[in-house]
Chain A
Amino acid sequence: AQTVTQSQPEMSVQEAETVTLSCTYDTSESDYYLFWYKQPPSRQMILVIRQEAYKQQNATENRFSVNFQKAAKSFSLKISDSQLGDAAMYFCAYWAGTASKLTFGTGTRLQVTL
């Protein structure tokens, strides 16, 4: 079974600085998708960024980028120029396509300080 591990329950970053959230996963599949979701206090789940495993190029969405290391099964999220609005829970998730469900990590709570 696929598993997703987020080893940092909490992280803190100063406004305008850069922070990296870690995620590792375990799978025997060769083709799959990886996601980072943001959950602010409103509880809404918001997709931040996605990465298709067959693509070697790391995905980027404005201030958010990933470091995807397929051989190491690692998928970290880098947030540049952190803003107060980035404070939230961040979940890493895996989807193999054929499984029809997302497998989530346990989440990392990000604090952004002035």
Chain B
Amino acid sequence: DAGITQSPRYKITETGRQVTLMCHQTWSHSYMFWYRQDLGHGLRLIYYSAAADITDKGEVPDGYVVSRSKTENFPLTLESATRSQTSVYFCAINPGLAGGEDEQFFGPGTRLTVL
């Protein structure tokens, strides 16, 4: 158990609404990641963070905003949700990335539906 929680686990919203997905780790590992999973695409990186107040874009960042004021939290916000953002979202951490370690631990995922 890598101690990663995501909330909510399921969310239905409407087009144009703002939605925030939460990710929390029980430790203080530096690197945190947000991925989305869609059929035919596998998992794609949205944003990642190397430390508190340090974030960077991944492969598909458009329409998303992240922040990291505290090391243990990494919220992902959809400022104006669109149907194309219907997906399963995974948060992940890499406990030892700064030291070259090689495994990411994933949260349980959030299934988001935008109507």
Residues of A within 8 A of B (CB): 4, 6, 33, 35, 42-45, 47, 50, 52, 91, 95, 97, 100-102, 104-107
Contact = CB atoms under 8 A, between A and B. Distances in A.
Interface string B14-41: 0000000000000000010100000011
B103 interface: yes
Given A43-B109, A44-B108, A45-B90, A105 B100 contact: no
7 closest Cβ contacts across the A-B interface? A104-B42, A45-B106, A104-B43, A43-B109, A33-B102, A106-B42, A101-B45
Interface residues of B, number: 24
Nearest to A44: B108
Contact of A104 (B44, B97, B103): B44
22 contacts: A35-B103, A42-B108, A43-B88, A43-B108, A43-B111, A44-B108, A45-B92, A47-B103, A50-B102, A52-B102, A91-B43, A97-B100, A100-B50, A100-B97, A101-B33, A101-B48, A102-B45, A102-B104, A104-B42, A104-B43, A105-B42, A107-B42
User: Which secondary structure dominates where chain A touches chain B?
Assistant: loop
A35 B97 CA distance: 15
Nearest to B88: A43
B58 interface: yes
Nearest to A32: B102
